[in-house]
Amino acid sequence: LPRWIYTGAISWITGFGQAESAALPFLTGALADAVGISSLQPLLVGMMSTMIALWLLVPRPVRPD
């Protein structure tokens, strides 16, 4: 990214991160309330799998030899 867009890009990333950190617990609670507590384990496994998959998409830094 060009230097002039760093501040805006970091602001968007932070905003999306905060929105998602508030949305997932709300959705988990609403689902557990509607379906029952037994829905939490599959949801947790799904969230952890998604997080691992996203981390695997992060490129590794290239180190000069």
Please, what is the end-to-end C-alpha distance for the chain in angstroms?
25
The CA radius of gyration of the chain, in Å to the nearest whole number, is 17
The pLDDT value recorded for residue 64 is 81
6-51 pLDDT, tens digit per residue, is 888 899 999 988 888 888 889 888 988 999 888 889 988 998 999 8
Q: Mean pLDDT, to the nearest integer, of 48-55?
A: 92
Confidence band for 55, pLDDT divided at 50, 70 and 90:
very high
Would the pTM of this model clear 0.75, i.e. be above it? no
Residue pair 19/11 in contact by the 8 Å Cβ criterion: no
